Every structure is written in structure tokens, then in C-alpha cells.
Chains A and B, each alone.
Chain A
Amino acid sequence: MMRSEPWQTAEIPGPVRALTILKPEVAVSAINRSKHPIIVVGHEAVETELEDAKPIDYAIRIADSTEAQVVATAHIIGEFISRGFKRAYWMSILDIANRLKDPGWGGLDGKGQYDLALFMGIPYYMEWVTLSSLKHYAPHLKTISIDRFHQPHATWSFPNITLKDWQKQLEAIATQLERK
């Protein structure tokens, strides 16, 4: 299951497609290069069970080690707070994407537009069209899907990988960023 093709077989993106993250260093390097990153986390990040963790836990570790801002979409803001992570904002996936494509937006922290957005836990098809929108309308922004299914509209995305391999990748990314 290590294929760089859309997870949903009928979803054909077009000529501009994601680069595949085969090693976690690729994501780590992109995050480290970013001057103003943001992490967008959807509800599936709390519904998916990994071994001794949930994807949201990795989102928090990445945010803590990079000081990236976090947007919790859907109804999961409380999950961040209950894990002791107080600086997440609530915004719907559409609202945050709509702002990310606006070059004049001041950002959640007032420091201007973001240059890198990581996505996790949005339903596959919804993340698909969101990333497509950003690909077309946010040329200033690089996007990384850190979900376990390939998202070709992102700038970088994992291939389709198993839960076990996904956790390994997330663990490696979080650990490397924490070492910085």
C-alpha cells in the first residue's frame, strides 16, 4: 500500500500533482524552512486510533516543537484543551482555507499570511477540494498533507500507507522536530 496515487480511485487531479513524502525528513525540512507555519486538524484526528496515541497527539507535538499555530476544525477544539494544549483556534475547514488564500489576511496572530499549512484529519474528499482550492488560489502557500492517504492537490503528501507506517512517519517527524 505504498502508492502515490489518489486513495479514492476516481479522483483524478490534473497536471499539477503533489510530491510524495517518502522520508519524514522531507516534511521536517519543509517545516523547518517555513517562517510562518500553521497546522489544520480535522475531526478524524481524534477518531482514528493508533497504538497508544491518536493523530491529534502528533499534531500537538509538532505544534509544540515548532510554535506553529493550530486550527481545530469541526467540533474538536475541546480535545486540544483537554490535552493541555491551550493555543488552538477554532475555525471551520472552509473558513480557514478561505483566509489562507487571501494574501491580505493578517493571520491568527496578526503576523500576516502563512507560508506553510499542514493538514490532518479532514475527511479525504473534503481535504481534496480544500487543497485543490489552495493550490489554485494561494500561490504564496505550500501545503503538506500528513494524513495517511495520498492527496495529490497538496504540495507534499504521503503515499497511501498503513496505519502502522503512518504512525512511524508521524513519530519520526515529531521526534526530529523536537530534537531541533
Chain B
Amino acid sequence: MSRKGLHLKLEELKTELAQVKGLEIAIGRIIEEEWAEPVGPTPFPTLASLREWDLKLLKKYRPMYLPYCDVCCLCTMGKCDLSKGKLGACGLDISKQQSRVVLLACCIGAATHTGHARHLVEHLIEKYGPDYPIDVGRSVGVEVEAPVTRLVCGVRPKTLGDLEEILDYLETQIVHLLSSTHTGQEGDELDFESKVFHAGMIDQVGMEIADIAQISAFNLPRADPNAPLADIGLGTVDTSKPVILVIGHNVPPSVEIIDYLERNGLHDKVEVTGICCTAHDITRYEPRAKIIGPISWQLRYVRSGVPDVIVVDEQCIRADILVEAQKIRAPVIASSEKNCLGLADRTEDPVEEIVSDLAGGKSPGALILNPEKVGEVAVKTAFQVYPVRGKFKVIPEINELIGEARRCTRCNECRRACPNNLPIPEAVGEAATGNLTGLANLYDLCIGCGRCESACPNHIRVHSLIVKGSERKIREEKYKVRVGRGPIQDVEIRNVGAPIVLGEIPGVVALVGCANYPEGGIEVAEIAEEFLKRRYIVVASGCSAMSIAAYKNEEGKTLYEAYPGTFEAGGLVNVGSCVSNSHIAGAAIKIANIFAKRNLRANYEEIADYIHNRVGAVGLAWGAITQKAASIASGFWRLGVPVVVGPHGSKYRRMLLGRRDHEEDWYVYDARTGNRVYAGPAPEHLFYAAETKEEAMVMMAKLCLRPNDTSKGRMIKLANYIDMHRKFYGVMPDDIPQYVRRESEIPVTMKDEIVKILKESGWQEKPTPDPTLLPRLVGVKR
């Protein structure tokens, strides 16, 4: 298993000093003797180890570049004009430049999750020791504790200490990947794309390390389908108490806040509220904590004046959070060296001194790089600040609002700055007459970026006006979310493995990512409900998991109350925060391993081939914003799992699109015969931006089709795809003949119509292969 090439194995060694039997050593690591599974071909893969696999995928799903602009401005020879086939000063063309930028984004994403994991693991080792065991659900039979790590690295981490070596590997890979974006390194767009996939794979391991470490050490739900329900929404906060707001992704400081409250019997005296993934993770730790909402809820919640102290850790925190906090006189505690916010380092100062400075207004905030101290300072400060602040807010009163609205000259600068081109001037114009309806309508569509305010030449506090106009809605924001359950149980995989692979469960759809929604978060809930009703397995994480909660059905129940949290047909599975996305990949990997008995250990290519051809899974990041979202998606691409993004996702500069009119792209090997067999365009795309939620849903249903589907499975999948197409488009899809392989696959309720379509198209029966893209798997008995 040595990745350095030196591998020493001694059956028996006798010396004067000692007698050794069965010793096996590799540079940098000791082979684990008791794991019987053989080491696969790619332990700890480097940049080019899986290049051939990547190129196979990229031949089917060719990059379509969508340049933002014509130039490159990354070095001092630039800016370089790359339009009309021109080359930059370094020789790069527009395609290579786009793929390079995609790689940069994915490196940022992978580095962020891996850096997160590193800080978390170091903290947990300091607190619990390196021998603290990894346990993500042993009591419920989770034996494959780290499927992504096993697959990629070929090792089984047993303790927190074991995770450090894996992190060393990830960090090395990220350094090499990032270095390949330097001027004069990589010179081919497909090789850049292969490295994008590598970054995504590294990212998945980093996420898994972070989540299994925190699940184990903080005792978060361990693969628990019945994880408790927590409150979510601005309206759930008890404002008669001091309120602490935590924002970010790295949960130790928030855990210490909870622990301090617990130790001092203060739990019912303080509200702990969260935004973004720290909110997910704090409710996994203590379900009485409350989630306010996704990343885009920061401005509206802070300006509401409800939080008395704001604690930030890392990732997705507004860069102006200190300025916004000062407006409402709430001190800020920064707790990560990645996000110091210009604050003085008070880590070594006495608690009482820091609290006094913060509560007395002497300092607007403090940098405290000790989570335990953050917990104590945050709570003590909240108690002192609470009576003084009196929930001071910067949302204008109604007469102020009208006065500000009257300053609007309808110059349209706000609208031109708005990512969603919202009709802000019209709403502000109405507000000037006292009618707040337009503002309230904007609230549901607003992603809370605040660009409208920055753009306004008359300094109208547009976002605050929108919040004021929506006070009633905000009070009614009271929902329930099932807290993140972590991994999928091995037994759940055994139960659904066959129906997923055979196609009888029509698909697994994963709703993940951020909150840059084109038409508000409710669309994510509507998409989830559509697939739940059709008995797909719906998995959720991050901001999307929150948005799903912010919707009630006809019975007044949120989807988390209406559907079970089990990984089964019709189940709604919130795995947790961003780093919990690794469990979604993990579930697909475990299907190949536990259900299909494929070797997992360092056997990436074969497992990805299995997933790509047999596991009908698709991801949707409807509001993807960040570089992390890009790297999360790229991890799924390397596994052959398609990802759909919302229209804003087109700004990622590149899609990976199949061409169903290119028949030659859709051949696979039949593993039984070795024949090359046409398997149809399934899945048709690997990375795809949809214009509307209707388009996204129909495409998701189609992207669940796989070459391996049995006739019954294909019929079920086609029934859903065709039915959704008719429901949302009003017509039958035009590609039915490409997906029906034999008559038994025609959905019964549409038989006459489809038979007619097939007849008119000259359709002929097609074989159903035992599909693989890897010739070396032909004839391998299983």
C-alpha cells in the first residue's frame, strides 16, 4: 500500500535483540494487518492517477465554456485579450483560462473544507486525545465508517489521530493542484478539468474527515433517521432573553457556548441561534438551539436587533459583519484565525476584562482563538449587553421608511445591482405612498446580499426597508427541521441497494448547497415535495436543507414533519451541514460496496464506474454560490454523478454536457460479453444549469436513468420523467425512443401514446448491457 514505493515485508526476523513475525512496513504508514480487503490500484492517488477515468467521462461530457469576460488578468503581462481565438501572453487561450478558473475555484473549496477539518481535528485531539475512537454509528451497525476515505486513500481511520495522516495527504494534493494554476504550468483544458475532478475528490475526503471527527467527539446524531426536530425561523426566537448568534461552519466555539450554559445552569436563560452550517451543527449538538436560516439571512437578522452578541467562526460570513453589528451595538467575537476581522487578539486576556471591554463598548469585538474562552465570554457578554442594548435595531419605523422611500429618484441603480433584477424601484415607489406590499413581496425573493444599498446614490437603506415591510411575515417564520443525522446506515443501504440499482426506486435526489435562489427558497421545498410524493429518496444538506423546512403543506406541517428521515423511498434525509455532503457520496459508494460487494479499498475507478452506470443519483444545488459548492459538485462528477444547478450556476463558467444526438458517445462495454453496446444517453449530462425549477425537476428525473436499469426499473423511471415532462411542459418529451429499450419498459398508463411515438420514430429494440466503461472489468466474475 506504500505510496512512496518502499514496501518492506518480513515473514520472520530473528536478531539478538528481538524476534519479529509478520511485520509489514511502508514509508509513512504501517499496513493494517487485520483488514482482509486487498488494496486496490490507487491508494492515495496523486494528480494523474485517475486521469484516464476522468478523460473517459470528459469524452462523454465535454466542457462547454461560458466565459464571463474576454480577458485574463491573473499576471502582470495582462490584461490579455482572449477574444476571437487570441492567445494570452503566456500562450493560454479562452478555454484553458476558463478551466483554470474552475480549478482555482475548486481548490479554494477543497482547501476550505480541508482547512476546516484540520482545525477541527487539531482541536478535538487537544481536547479528547489522539486515541479517541471514530464512531459514527457502530451501535446501529455502521461498519463502513468512512467510505470516501476508504475508497480514496485505502485506509480505515479508527481514531482521531488516524485522521491527521489523511489530512497530510489532502493538503499535499491541494498544494499541487493549486500550483498547477500558476502561469506556465498546465496547458490543456481537459487536463485542467481532470484536476478539477481531483480537487473535488480531495474535497469529499476533507468533508468526511471533518464530519466523522465531530460526530464522534461531540456525540452528534450517529446515522439516526429519527434525529430530533429543531426550531427554525426568525419567528422562533424568544426575544425576552439575551440572544447569541453564531455564524459560520466550524462548530467548536458554539459547542463551548452550549457547554458553558449547561455547566452553569443557564440553559433556559439564553437563546442560542445560528445562521448557515454552524447552525446545523449546533442543533445536532443541542436540539434546543435554533436555526435562523441560510447564509442569506445574515443582514435581516442582525439588523432586526435581536442578537446581543455575534460569534463568527469561518466560511460564508459577511465581510461587513462587524460594521453591521456595530450598527445594532452588538459586540462580535471572532474565533478563527482565518477570519480575524481586524480585531485585537484577546486570546490570552482575562475573561472579565474582555467582557467588560465588549459590554462597555470599549471594543466593538475581540479575536479569541480559544473555543472554551469564546463560550464563557459570549455568554457573560450577552448577559451584560442585553439590558443595555434593549434590542436596539436599525430597521426604520414606518414614518422613517416613508421618508426614505420618498428620496428615491427611480434611477434603477438598485435594480441593476440586484442579482435577481428585482423590481426594487417600483416597490420603494409604492412604499413612499405608505403601501408596503411591494416591499413584502420582495422579501421572499431577496437573497439578502445588500448590493442594492451599496448602489443607491441617495443612501436609502433598501434592505432594511424590505425587512420593515415584511415584519408580519418574519414573525410567522416558525418551522421545524430534522437535525442533521449524519451517515446512512449500512442496513439502510442493504434495504435499498437492490431497488436503487435495479431502478425500482426511481432515484436518489440530493438537494444541497447555498441560497442564491432565482425565485426564493420555497422552490427548493417545492422540488423536494414533488420528488417525495413520487417516492424518490430525497437527501438534503446545508442551506437547502434549511430552505426545505421553511414551507408547510396543506396540513400545516413542514416536510420534515410529514416525511420520515429514513434513507428509503419517500424519505427526507437531512444529513447535516456542508461537510455532511460526504455522506451523500458515501451512500452511493456504500451501495457499490455493501450491496454489490465491490471492493472499496483504494478502488476508485471501479466504484465510480459502478455508481455512474448503476446508481440513479443526481444532485441539485439550486442556489449554489461559493467555491465550496463548486468543489462539492466536482467530487460528484468524478464519481459520475450528475449535478444540476440553478440559473446563477451558469456563472461557474463551464458546464459538462452530453450530446444525445452523438450516438457514438453512448456506448458501454457489456461486462459479460465484452461487446460494445449502445446504452443511450443516460445520464445525459454531468453538470447542467437549469433556467427554471420546472426544467430542473424534469431534468433531474431524466438524469436518474442509468444503463443498468432493469426493464421494470426503466419503466418506473420513465413513468416519472414523462409524467413530469407532461405536467410541467405540457407536452410529451421528444427523446422517449432513446430511452425505451424494449416494450416491457413502456409505462402502462401511457402505453398507446408511447407505442405510437416509437412506431413513428422507427424504434427498434435495444439490448440491456451489464454496463462498464472499463474494459478491464469485462469477464470478471462476481
Contact = CB atoms under 8 A, between A and B. Distances in A.
Interface in A1-16: 1, 7-16
B64 A132 contact: no
Interface stretch (B225-233, B384-392, B412-420, B439-447): B412-420
Nearest to A94: B655
B498 interface: no
B692 A74 contact: yes
Interface in B665-697: 688-692, 694-695
A101 B659 CA distance: 13
Contacts of B691: 42-43, 73-74, 92-93, 122-123, 126
A105 to B, nearest CB: 8
Interface string B591-620: 000000000000000000000000000000
A75 B728 contact: yes
A135 B659 CA distance: 21
A1 B413 CA distance: 11
Contacts of A8: 416-417, 421
Interface string A125-149: 1100110110111010000000000
B197 to A, nearest CB: 20
Interface string A91-112: 0111101110100010000000
A125 B68 CA distance: 9
A74 B698 CA distance: 10
Interface residues of B, number: 46
B729 interface: yes
Interface in A67-125: 73-75, 77-79, 81-82, 89-90, 92-95, 97-99, 101, 105, 122-125
B653 to A, nearest CB: 7
Given A81-B731, A130-B66, A136-B65, A125 B650 contact: yes
Interface residues of A, number: 45
A129 B417 contact: no
A129 B416 contact: no
A75 B691 CA distance: 9
Contacts of A74: 690-692, 694-695
A126 B81 contact: no
A14 B695 contact: no
B532 to A, nearest CB: 20
Contacts of B647: 123, 125-126
A9 B653 CA distance: 19
B762 interface: no
A124 B422 CA distance: 12
A77 B730 contact: yes
Contact of A130 (B69, B413, B650, B653): B650
Given A15-B71, A42-B691, A98-B659, A125 B729 contact: no
Interface of B: 64-71, 81-85, 94, 412-413, 416-417, 419, 421, 455, 518, 647-648, 650-651, 653, 655, 657, 659, 661, 688-692, 694-695, 698-699, 728-731, 733-734
5 contacts: A75-B695, A94-B689, A97-B64, A125-B648, A133-B65
